[in-house]
Amino acid sequence: MSHLITLLIFLAILGLIVLIHEFGHFITAKLNKVYVHEFSLGFGPKLFSFKRKNDETEYMIKALPLGGYVMLAGEEYEDEEDDKKKKKKDEKPKVKVPEDQKLYNKKFHQKFMIMVAGVFNNFILGLILLFIMGLVYGCDFSSNKLTHLSKDLPLYETGARNGDKLISINGHKVKNDDDIILWVAINGTEKPINVEIEKKDSKKIEKYKIKAKKLEDGNKYFGISVSTKEEKGFIPSVKYAFSKLVSIFKQLIIVIISLFTGKLGFNAVSGPVGIYSVVGMAKGSMLLLLYLTAYLSINVGFMNLLPFPAFDGGRAFLLIIEKITRKKVPLKVESIINGIGFILLMILMVVITIKDIINLF
């Protein structure tokens, strides 16, 4: 029963994030009068579908709930020349779509908005959930001021005291708990960290090298603890939501850079199985589930912004190239690029999933 509840929560979170993302593409396409063939949640065999009266779009749910898509007229290569070349009968579109309703005939700003609308929706969902967290549970605003330092842990033992300020970790400036957690996670607890401390009384900057200490629970700690201030209300909740959005976005940028530079290993990347495990740990707390959903939504939006083929960012990047060079990228070439990108993405997902499954045992 416990695993079933975890699975249902996992599917609900994933479904909400995908629905919000794809709805962004869908509604923006509709507003710009682009013909929408399909709106699908999931991939693979179709489980359920329906069409509304006076609406060309087929809405469907498919068997593999690991994504979704919106199929637009004029998005694929076949749409570009369906009136110029002879085709086999089974290749002809079921519906004759007017040229002015095809994506490739829309203006640059219309196509660009349609491409990035899903990302925008993911960020909005993240903001709303973070705002709800702040409004219901209160907002914790942390600083880099040290407090409640344990005398038995390394940071205190090396000379830091309550009231001092933690300025940097391994040369990276830190302003709050989010920054600290990020740089400690990238460094790991197996290696020492170099910290800069501003002393409370003299304002003098002291440099320390700290090695994590293993405690009875089997985990290693550096002993860093900073002060937090709790606020409640509408305005603090708005401030909290935007500050967390910026913080998460910053973390994702640093993580991507760290993966490419080798500072973070492949084990730092998680797929659906890894996310499922996190949901299992968080399912007992609505606060954690809200934060996890917000984080994943912002994560999906951020990843889709990357200029990689098959991602929304890759498609938007090609549009920008067209605008700068004033030369249209042929839809056939774009389809091939996105197809290759999709295959590479699927291979990566399979490898990550296998890695996550191995880590479960």
Which residue among 22, 75, 80, 334 is the active-site one? 22
Q: CB–CB of 300/122 below 8 Å?
A: yes
Size (the chain), residues: 361
Active site annotation includes 22:
yes
**Region for 67 from its dihedrals, namely left if φ exceeds 0, alpha if ψ lies in -120 to 50, beta otherwise:** left
**Best CA proximity match to 93, nearest among 135, 130, 38, 133:** 38
Q: CB–CB of 93/204 below 8 Å?
A: no
Distance, CA of 301 to CA of 255 (rounded, Å): 15
**Best CA proximity match to 68, nearest among 8, 31, 122:** 122
Distance, CA of 313 to CA of 338 (rounded, Å): 11
**Best CA proximity match to 6, nearest among 278, 192, 214, 211:** 278
Distance, CA of 310 to CA of 316 (rounded, Å): 10
Active-site annotation, residues: 22
